[in-house]
């Protein structure tokens, strides 16, 4: 154990010293230490107090948190067969440990004593919030259940943790398995030079002749958007939409049904009508009914616009290529063509202005102007891969704020998409403000032999989005780790990320970083105007798509799923109110819906739209006063970014904005109302 780098005190994750063999013993040891810390709390003969019970519990398990953050982040960003195998082994152990804590009656009794006295304890708002959060988390996780029911809960939780891991592994394997090798250059007609070059480089890296197209976003998206060959677009679209839906050993249909049913059983066991009722009790939205009415209200405004846009797109495809019925593999292609015709704007015109390094500097400059942060790239920090960049973040007085990791390009051991995570939580302990270690992981277009990494505009907004999450982690300034940074209600967590995307559309912000990678020329204002004008292009269809995902999520989680026998048939029924394209029998969304079956978005996918209402309303406030207004930025930092989950999010939002958010700003921005 003494030689295990994960069990020695470490500040920065010691990636270069860790081997896969270290994880299992380290996690087992971390669990044993955390159990001992909890045992110290429960065996204390002193009467329960905030300090010896609630606070002690929040600071417990720190070593285990550090070890598991390293392990699970690697499992997402740099996994191997070995790591995946260990994940299958440790997930049930962690689930069991989590249940040991949640179902510990002695611990709950002590928490209950403090909870009953909370009004008379002279607690700070943050301490009061922590007492309520702790008490609720125990009662919500079965602390009041009889022993027999607790045992059922343990079994369900263990099975759920294993199933969601398996779900994710299947999707990664499906993504990595598909390769479309093209040996005839005419099959690449329409594809931008950069995408062709990347496909060539990918084939070469795998010792193949020709051009290799995969299901990784930087390969898939350009192909489905630009390739003239409709049959090949269809081939890759079918492959992309059929992940986890192949009746083979990577099939997720059975897993989806099991997860949905186990979640429902768990909710009933805990006294809730459904998994959605259970989840939403701790969300701004509060109830399934409120979520449905929120989604349907926007659907009512978006659907007529979406149907009108779809007809326009279909007419355009018919006029251009004689296509009678638009299919899913045609959508991105003809949308791009129509956008080019209407705005004379395409990603290839924009990409030269969005060199990755410039965009990084741009987002840093914006963070400096808004929040007084400084970023210095350093090479003294251990990394899990050579491509990872590391930065020391300080404030204007040069005080250390955070360590920041950024990992930008796809690799075979890295799951698709983009996310923010952390390796060390912020907290104040023994009068010391312990600063966080924050990371963002993306899958952006790689540099090629002749070009640097040039981002599509969509990738630019993705970088800003994840960096918004990172700021939420970096600027955290709370006492207790469980209330710090992004530990907020799930439908509030997307506000910092989504609000930051707005700066990508503003002339004042673009001028800071959108420079041609060869000539250094600042992006022409005519292009900025077109970006702005085109930002609502096909917004009705885009909104309908997001709403369909939110409604599918709620359909799986707001009612009893035990009668559902066929995943695909059920999904089709749910999509009937939002679908525009003909159904594709070979494809299924649910079997690859990682957000809800692997990530933490179950009964929470609506929160993207919910947070859009918040972000549009918040940005309206900035625009009224200037997008770099120091007073508004200071209020956002103080009441939103720094406060984490220390108070109810609506209270924090109103403190920043002076009022509750109104949906009008979003509907106006989306062009859905005048």
Catalytic (active-site) positions: 466
Q: What is the Cα Rg of the chain in Å?
A: 25
Spatial contact of 355 and 517, defined as CB atoms under 8 Å apart: yes
Strands 400-407 and 437-441: parallel
Burial of 394 (0-12, 13-18, 19+ CB in 10 A): middle
Q: Are 656 and 647 in contact (CB under 8 A)?
A: no
Residue 335 and residue 316: Cα distance in Å, rounded?
A: 9
Mapped to the 3 state alphabet, what secondary structure does 284-310 carry?
CCCCHHHHHHHHHHHHHHHHHHHHHHH
> What ranges make up the beta strands (E) of 540-641?
none
CA-closest candidate to residue 491, choices 601, 617, 417, 590: 601
From CA 261, how far away is CA 430, in angstroms rounded? 45
Calculate the alpha carbon distances from 614 to 261, 284, 350 in Å. Answer: 33, 11, 29
- Helix, strand or coil for residue 432? strand
Say how many C-beta atoms besides its own lie within 10 A of residue 287's C-beta: 14
* Cα–Cα distance measured from residue 653 to residue 82, given in angstroms and rounded to the nearest whole number: 44
Quote the DSSP letter at residue 427.
E
End-to-end CA distance of the chain, in Å? 65
Taking a C-beta distance cutoff of 8 angstroms, is the pair 209, 221 a contact?
no
| CA separation for the pair 567, 596 (Å, rounded) | 15
Long-range pairs of 558-562 with CB within 8 A, sequence gap ≥ 24 = 558/274, 558/275, 558/276, 558/277, 558/288, 558/292, 558/603, 559/274, 560/264, 560/274, 561/257, 561/260, 561/261, 561/264, 562/261, 562/264
């Amino acid at each position: 154990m003494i030689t295990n780098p994960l069990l020695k005190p470490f500040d920065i994750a010691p990636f270069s010293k860790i081997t896969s063999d270290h994880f299992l013993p380290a996690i087992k040891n971390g669990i044993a230490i955390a159990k001992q810390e909890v045992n110290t709390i429960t065996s204390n003969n002193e009467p329960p107090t905030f300090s010896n019970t609630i606070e002690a519990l929040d600071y417990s398990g720190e070593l285990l948190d550090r070890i598991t953050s390293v392990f699970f982040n690697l499992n997402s960003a740099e996994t191997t067969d070995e790591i995946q195998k260990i994940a299958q082994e440790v997930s049930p152990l962690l689930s069991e440990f989590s249940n040991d804590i949640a179902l510990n009656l002695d611990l709950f009794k002590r928490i209950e004593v403090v909870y009953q006295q909370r009004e008379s304890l002279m607690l700070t708002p943050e301490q009061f919030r922590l007492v309520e959060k702790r008490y609720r988390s125990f009662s919500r996780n079965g602390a009041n259940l009889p022993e027999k029911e607790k045992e059922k809960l343990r079994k369900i939780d263990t099975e759920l943790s294993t199933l969601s891991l398996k779900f994710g592994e299947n999707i990664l394997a499906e993504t990595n398995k598909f390769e479309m090798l093209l040996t005839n250059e005419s099959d690449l007609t329409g594809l931008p030079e950069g995408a062709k070059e990347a496909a060539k480089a990918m084939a070469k890296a795998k010792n193949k002749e020709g051009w290799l197209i995969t299901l990784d976003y930087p390969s898939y998206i350009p192909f489905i958007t630009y390739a003239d060959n409709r049959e090949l677009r269809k081939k890759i679209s079918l492959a992309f939409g059929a992940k986890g839906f192949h009746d083979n050993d990577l099939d997720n249909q059975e897993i989806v049904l099991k997860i949905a049913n186990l979640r429902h059983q768990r909710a009933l066991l805990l006294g809730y009508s459904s998994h959605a009722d259970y989840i939403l009790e701790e969300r701004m939205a509060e109830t399934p009914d409120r979520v449905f009415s929120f989604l349907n209200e926007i659907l009512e405004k978006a659907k007529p616009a979406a149907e009108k846009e779809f007809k326009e797109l279909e007419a355009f495809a018919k006029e251009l290529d004689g296509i009678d019925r638009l299919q899913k593999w045609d959508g991105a292609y003809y949308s791009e063509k129509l956008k080019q015709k209407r705005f004379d704007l395409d990603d290839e015109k924009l990409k030269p202005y969005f060199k990755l390094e410039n965009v990084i500097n741009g987002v840093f400059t914006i963070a400096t102007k808004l929040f007084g942060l400084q970023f210095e790239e350093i090479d003294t920090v251990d990394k899990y891969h050579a491509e990872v960049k590391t930065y020391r973040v300080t404030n204007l007085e040069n005080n250390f704020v955070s360590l920041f990791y950024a990992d930008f390009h796809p690799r075979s051991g890295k799951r698709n998409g983009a996310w923010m995570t952390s390796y060390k939580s912020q907290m104040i302990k023994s009068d010391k403000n312990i600063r966080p270690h924050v990371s963002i992981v993306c899958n952006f277009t790689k540099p090629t032999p002749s070009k640097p990494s040039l981002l599509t505009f969509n990738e630019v907004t993705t970088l800003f989005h994840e960096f918004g999450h990172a700021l939420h982690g970096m600027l955290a300034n709370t006492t207790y780790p469980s209330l710090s940074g992004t530990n907020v209600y799930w439908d509030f967590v997307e506000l910092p990320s989504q609000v930051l995307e707005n700066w990508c559309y503003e002339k004042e912000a673009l001028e800071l970083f959108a420079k041609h990678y060869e000539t250094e020329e600042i992006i022409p204002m005519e292009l900025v105007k077109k970006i702005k004008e085109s930002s609502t292009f096909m917004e009705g269809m885009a909104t309908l798509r997001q709403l369909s995902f939110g409604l599918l999520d709620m359909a799986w989680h707001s009612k009893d799923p035990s009668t559902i026998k066929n995943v695909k048939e059920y999904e089709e029924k749910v999509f009937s109110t939002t679908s525009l394209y003909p159904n594709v029998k070979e494809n299924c969304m649910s079997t690859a819906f990682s957000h809800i079956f692997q990530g933490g978005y179950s009964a929470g996918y609506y929160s993207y739209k919910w947070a859009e209402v918040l972000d549009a309303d918040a940005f309206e406030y900035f625009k009224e006063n200037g997008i770099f207004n120091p007073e508004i930025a200071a209020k956002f930092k103080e009441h939103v970014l720094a406060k984490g989950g220390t108070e109810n999010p609506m209270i924090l939002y109103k403190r920043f904005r002076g009022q509750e958010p109104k949906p009008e700003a979003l509907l106006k921005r989306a062009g859905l109302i005048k």
